Amino acid sequence: MNQERIYQVVFGPHVTEKTVNISESANRTAFKVAVDASKLEIKKAVEQLFEVKVEDVRTVKVKGKAKNFGKRTGKRKDWKKAYVKLAEGSSIDLQGEA
């Protein structure tokens, strides 16, 4: 997979209370990914970006919320997230080094 496609597939980590609890208990990390990305593309992109071994990828398509913009009603964009299970002994430091 070329470098350009990697950055089009994985947008970044998705950090919430739920994803932090999952990462601590089940060694899974959540990422925002492209809607058209396949599980295999996500796996290869995460392995190349973070230099880890990925065991499993599960994806969820999240529907955009219906919102009111003044008098008009609208809808936010649909998006996709991926739960990536890392191999035993692998980890991703999402906080960085400060």
9-25: per-residue pLDDT in tens? 999 999 999 999 998 89
Give the tens place of pLDDT for each residue, 39-67: 999 999 999 999 999 999 999 999 999 99
CATH code linked to domain 3-86: 3.30.70.330
Strand partners, 98: none
Q: How confident is the model at residue 69 (pLDDT cuts 50, 70, 90)?
A: confident
Residues 77 and 48: their CA atoms lie apart, in Å, by 28
Q: Where are the domains of the chain?
A: 3-86
CA distance 26 to 15: 15
pTM score: 0.87
Q: Which residues contact 4 (CB under 8 A, 6 or more apart)?
A: none
